[in-house]
């Protein structure tokens, strides 16, 4: 019997990176998985690769009406929602002087507003069927400042504290809904590769990111997925409002 046997898990940003790695892990442990993404081609490719037990829905996570539709679909089709992974995100390689208001707002919409909407509507569904677990994907940049990631640090820091507020609210209301955050450093994901490619000197940026962690390398999406799996499972019933750094010792 799998660690997530027969649980219904919704993962945003599930077409690649941490989201796709988490979908693989959840399926392996017996869950039924719904992934969402703006990348329709990538989402459909993930379903084709992973086979039975997974479904893809196109979603712009910044749109409230689409959140209502997605959660409604999951509940109608599967009867409940046991786990939500708010993984969709984006970065912006700009310092406080170079960042634009438009860029600032976009980064916060994708990273923070989407997490707010996901938590809000997942709670509405979960509390009707006995509870569940929400995992919000923040970043080590939500724990430590980075000079050239002004908007991203702000957004991921907001995700961290939104997680704690959500956890306390659900506990006070006796919803049996846990909410935790994970804080990966630089993992080999498509988003990180985009950051590397966007740098004036890509090779210099890659080496810089590898040196960020005391372990001297970047991690893999599976490193984060394994922690998410634990938090979604019944192995973590007394853990809520916690933050897990998956960072090769960066915050040590």
| Residues classed as catalytic | 152
Q: Which residue has the tokens 């984006």?
A: 90
Q: Per DSSP, which regions of 66-137 are E strands? A: 83-86, 132-137
Pairing of strands 83-86, 132-137: parallel
Report the residue count for the chain: 252
Strands of 54-58's sheet, edge to edge?
54-58, 32-37, 8-12, 83-86, 132-137, 177-184, 243-246
Here the tokens at position 206 are 């890659």
Q: How many CB atoms lie within 10 A of CB 200?
A: 6
Q: CA-to-CA distance for 153 and 156, rounded, in angstroms?
A: 5
């Amino acid at each position: 019997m799998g660690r997530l046997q027969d649980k219904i898990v919704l993962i945003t940003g599930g077409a690649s990176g941490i989201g796709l790695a988490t979908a693989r892990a959840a399926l392996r442990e017996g869950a039924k998985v719904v992934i969402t993404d703006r990348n329709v081609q990538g989402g459909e490719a993930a379903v084709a690769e992973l086979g039975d037990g997974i479904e893809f829905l196109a979603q712009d996570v910044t749109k409230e009406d689409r959140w209502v539709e997605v959660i409604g679909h999951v509940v109608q089709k599967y009867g409940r929602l046991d786990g939500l992974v708010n993984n969709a995100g984006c970065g912006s390689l700009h310092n406080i002087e170079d960042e634009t208001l438009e860029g600032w707002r976009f980064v916060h919409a994708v990273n923070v507003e989407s997490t707010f909407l996901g938590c809000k509507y997942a709670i509405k569904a979960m509390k009707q069927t006995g509870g569940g677990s929400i995992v919000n994907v923040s970043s080590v940049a939500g724990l430590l400042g980075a000079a050239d990631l002004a908007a991203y640090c702000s957004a991921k820091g907001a995700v961290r504290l939104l997680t704690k507020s959500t956890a306390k609210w659900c506990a006070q209301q006796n919803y049996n809904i846990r909410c935790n955050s994970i804080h990966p450093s630089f993992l080999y994901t498509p988003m990180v590769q985009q950051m590397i490619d966007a740098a004036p000197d890509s090779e210099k940026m890659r080496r810089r990111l590898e040196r960020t962690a005391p372990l001297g390398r970047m991690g893999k999406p599976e490193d984060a997925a394994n922690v998410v799996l634990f938090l979604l499972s019944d192995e973590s019933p007394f853990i809520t409002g916690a933050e897990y750094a998956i960072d090769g010792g960066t915050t040590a």
